[in-house]
Structure 1
């Protein structure tokens, strides 16, 4: 039966890393970017990891509920990788052997995989192709080298059955573009500058985790927020700086299109300093200018609404009627955006922008709904009032 991840993390906290040697700054940054790349996979719904741990026993540990993937990352300036080279000291297999032995000492190796990620191509030698595709085919010469690296001979077959080799990892020159492309698939409504801004923030935290030092306290605050969230793990003290959790990345990134209103409420309860209006519009791919306009008009309408409530005691029924009217129109426009999404890229990727443009390009549509003159038929204030209703979880800025 698989061990719960809490036990795996407790075991990890007891393992001492034996990483030696000096890495170049470029390789260091490449590893941090790989950490971001796999941290993003925590946001996916199917069999997603729950955390990435940097520089604890291995370059990266990708933690699932009942499984850990230990990854050793290696760069190469020129040429291709051969099976023989990966078994040289300092080229990856030696570190994975140490990781395997450490995991075995604390009883988590059966819930683990040991992976070598290689920048660049592999050699076309038959021995290399066979070994990289299926490490259990390692010939006697490679097995002898692994024993020389410290792997007990009686554990060779077990280690090789858990070894996975990934070649052609994104190069140092192209990994930024690869990550931004993958982010664009997660948030199709976000522009490249918006995605670059998110990526920069994620990379700062991942780099601090890679170094094992907090960045201006941000890492520790995020971990504290993660620990406070229901259902999250309690992070061992000596992993807290190096721990990149699902809660952290959700806290730092725009809402995904598939997030529910309850997911957005959970973000707020976890300490996200924003409004439901902003979260819903960001989930619906809002552009910064449209969001700022919505926030300004919402604030303006709220002043009028509060003054009206303070001066009159008979408006509850009138507000209820206005709510029904304005939400009916707004939902119809949201449905229109959904129907047009096949032919209209903005409607598909940025429904919040589409709905806002439809309403603000003809504010008289909203003005006519104000039969009781609560906002004196001012279409812009009525748009702001719709934003108030969205803040109260009554309009999602996309089709229901």
Structure 2
């Protein structure tokens, strides 16, 4: 079976009617999906130049002059938040990073614990996660005991330790990776983006399972290279060879990467290929529409019923406008633009003119999208 046929087989595994691809994506380990997340960032000027899997740690992100050795930990839904006691126990993550530090401490960089989900806000966890090097002596001693080393020996490790909670969850990371992918390739349709993402996951999984661990000397040499060898790890040259279209680096990439979460409205628009400007305008209008809805609904029962009627009519019209564009790669931009031009159609949804102009009614559509009632790309 060639690579193309393999990708098709993986897509068929999703089954009819599935709209997210999550069943297909979910077969890959959390570490693999994180690896693709960082692999996409190799196209950013200040991003990693290569991502290694199972080289001393789950993930090793190599930059010019330093490396980030990362242990990735996931949590089952419903489990309690991360705490110092959890990460200090055997298999909690600190023990693995401690072993990696002993083997590769001559390599400049950090040793990082990447935690899916939130951490507790109580002490001593909060202080330790914020700055392990500044933890009190009793915390230092407790960590040293959990690692089986004297307190004095653990201090150099803590100086280079970073704990990063709030990593993308297993339920959100696929959507986030797809959004990054579609922002990189504006001409890419959602089905092609999903096919490409599956292929990137398969490559990352093969990299995880089929490579031997890099020695500290090899890693140090790689850190000092200006460019990562094409054949080693997940580098930008290899990524570019797998992408289905011309790459355009978004102006707001840094902001997009820094945000831990996004609203349902923004998520839907990004998956519908909307531009940064469209998304920002939609967010602004959603606030306007939400305020107007609240104002109208604050009146008597008849006003609440009128507001609900306006919402239903505006939603119906938005769906009618969106349907012809459902196969368009940039459906989000086009539907939003058409809504803003639909003065007559949207105005008919508000016969008493309680919602001012068309922008407030477009804001109402954005609000119902944020409530998961309008997907922008119709099924």
Q: Given the two structures, how large is their TM-score scaled by the length of structure 1?
A: 0.49
* Residue 258 to residue 147, structure 1, CA distance change in 2 (3 Å): closer
Match of 2:41 in 1: 41
Match of 1:119 in 2: 116
2:128 to 103, 113, 131: 131
Give the C-alpha shift of residue 153 in structure 1: 3.0
Q: Contact conserved, 1:32 with 1:210, CA < 8 A, in 2?
A: yes
Q: Contact conserved, 2:114 with 2:163, CA < 8 A, in 1?
A: yes
What SS does the aligned partner of 2:90 have?
A: coil
**CA–CA separation in structure 1 for the residues paired with 2:101 and 2:26:** 27
**CA–CA separation in structure 1 for the residues paired with 2:249 and 2:27:** 35
1:256 to 247, 254, 260: 247
Is 1:52–2:42 an aligned residue pair? Answer: no
What SS does the aligned partner of 1:126 have?
A: coil
**CA–CA separation in structure 2 for the residues paired with 1:231 and 1:100:** 24
* Residue 134 to residue 73, structure 1, CA distance change in 2 (3 Å): same
What SS does the aligned partner of 1:69 have?
A: strand
Q: Deviations over 1:218-260 (max 9, x none)?
A: xxxxxxxxxxxx974448xxxx67x11121111111321259x
**CA–CA separation in structure 2 for the residues paired with 1:255 and 1:143:** 50
Q: Higher RCO, 1 or 2 (CA under 8 Å, sep at least 6)?
A: 2
Is 1:72–2:62 an aligned residue pair? Answer: no
Match of 2:361 in 1: none
**CA–CA separation in structure 2 for the residues paired with 1:255 and 1:114:** 35
* Residue 116 to residue 127, structure 1, CA distance change in 2 (3 Å): same
Q: Contact conserved, 2:61 with 2:68, CA < 8 A, in 1?
A: yes
Give the C-alpha shift of residue 203 in structure 1: 0.3
* Residue 152 to residue 27, structure 1, CA distance change in 2 (3 Å): farther
Give the C-alpha shift of residue 178 in structure 1: 1.5
Match of 1:368 in 2: none
What SS does the aligned partner of 2:91 have?
A: coil
Q: Deviations over 1:11-52 (max 9, x none)?
A: xxxxxxxxxxxxxx979611100000000000112x121100
Give the C-alpha shift of residue 142 in structure 1: 3.2
2:189 to 188, 191, 203: 191
Count, aligned residues: 216
**Structure 1: which 5+ runs fail to align?**
1-24, 215-229, 260-284, 286-343, 347-400
**CA–CA separation in structure 2 for the residues paired with 1:121 and 1:68:** 25
Q: Contact conserved, 1:97 with 1:151, CA < 8 A, in 2?
A: no
Match of 2:29 in 1: 29
**CA–CA separation in structure 1 for the residues paired with 2:85 and 2:32:** 27
* Residue 130 to residue 186, structure 1, CA distance change in 2 (3 Å): same
Is 1:167–2:158 an aligned residue pair? Answer: no
* Residue 28 to residue 71, structure 1, CA distance change in 2 (3 Å): farther
Is 1:84–2:118 an aligned residue pair? Answer: no
Q: Contact conserved, 1:63 with 1:69, CA < 8 A, in 2?
A: yes
* Residue 231 to residue 205, structure 1, CA distance change in 2 (3 Å): same
Q: Deviations over 1:199-229 (max 9, x none)?
A: 1110000011111269xxxxxxxxxxxxxxx
What SS does the aligned partner of 1:173 have?
A: coil
Q: Contact conserved, 2:124 with 2:139, CA < 8 A, in 1?
A: no
| Higher gyration radius (CA) | 1
**CA–CA separation in structure 2 for the residues paired with 1:138 and 1:62:** 26
**CA–CA separation in structure 2 for the residues paired with 1:42 and 1:27:** 24
* Residue 258 to residue 112, structure 1, CA distance change in 2 (3 Å): closer
**CA–CA separation in structure 1 for the residues paired with 2:194 and 2:40:** 14
Q: Contact conserved, 1:55 with 1:212, CA < 8 A, in 2?
A: no
Q: Contact conserved, 1:121 with 1:167, CA < 8 A, in 2?
A: yes
Is 1:247–2:237 an aligned residue pair? Answer: yes
Deviates more, 1:152-161 or 1:175-184: 152-161
* Residue 198 to residue 80, structure 1, CA distance change in 2 (3 Å): same
**CA–CA separation in structure 2 for the residues paired with 1:130 and 1:233:** 36
**CA–CA separation in structure 2 for the residues paired with 1:251 and 1:85:** 41
**Structure 2: which 5+ runs fail to align?**
1-24, 213-224, 251-272, 274-331, 335-379
Match of 1:101 in 2: 102
**CA–CA separation in structure 2 for the residues paired with 1:93 and 1:26:** 26
Match of 2:62 in 1: 63
Give the C-alpha shift of residue 94 in structure 1: 0.6
